[in-house]
Amino acid sequence: MQYALLVHGSPYASRACHSAWEFAKAIVSTQEHTLLGVFFYQDSVLIGNQLAQVSRDEFNIQTAWQHLSKESGVPLHLCIAAAISRGIINESESQRYELEASTLAPQFQLEGLGSFVALINDCDKLISFK
């Protein structure tokens, strides 16, 4: 079965990113299922801010997602509109808005809702985490 994940909740104010990561780990660990991608929407896009620093005694959910993506090849999409409104931009958006630097963490990519629709069309099941 081919899955896609939709994450809504903030990585700092809810367990949505953590629960989705646990589910994603379970999917990629089997040969029976495939994870086509993860789409972070609303406050969950904060997961892709490379400037965010986690206390040393806390679990770093951003790093966990980055490792999962790097090892499995699962794309991590951030809703571009939600990300930009929260100060998360890549190099091209940085130039577009005449800003000095990008804030997008490695392994994450900015995508529009069209990419989300394509992900939905390609998967068998969409699982949402709020």
Q: What would the pLDDT profile of 24-55 be if each residue is shown by its tens digit?
A: 999 999 999 999 999 999 999 999 999 999 99
Domain residue extents for the chain: 2-129
Which residues partner with 5 through β-bridges?
38, 127
Residue carrying structure tokens 């993506």:
69
Q: Is 123 one of the catalytic residues?
A: no
Q: Which pTM was predicted?
A: 0.96
Structure confidence at residue 44 (pLDDT): 98
* CATH number listed for the domain at residues 2-129: 3.40.1260.10
Structure confidence at residue 9 (pLDDT): 97
Task: Name the CA dihedral angle for 113, 118, 119, 125, rounded to a multiple of 10 degrees.
Answer: 110
Structure confidence at residue 90 (pLDDT): 96
User: Which of these is catalytic: 27, 79, 88, 119?
Assistant: 79
Which residues partner with 4 through β-bridges?
37, 126
Asked if residue 30 lies in contact with residue 61, where contact means CB atoms within 8 angstroms, the answer is no
Structure confidence at residue 49 (pLDDT): 98
Q: What is the pLDDT of residues 64-95, one digit of tens each?
A: 999 999 999 999 999 999 999 999 999 999 99
Q: Pairing relation of β-strands 34-40 and 76-79?
A: parallel
- Half-sphere exposure of residue 125, counting CA atoms within 13 Å on the CB side? 10
Q: What is the pLDDT of residues 118-127, one digit of tens each?
A: 999 999 999 9
Structure confidence at residue 66 (pLDDT): 98
Structure confidence at residue 77 (pLDDT): 98
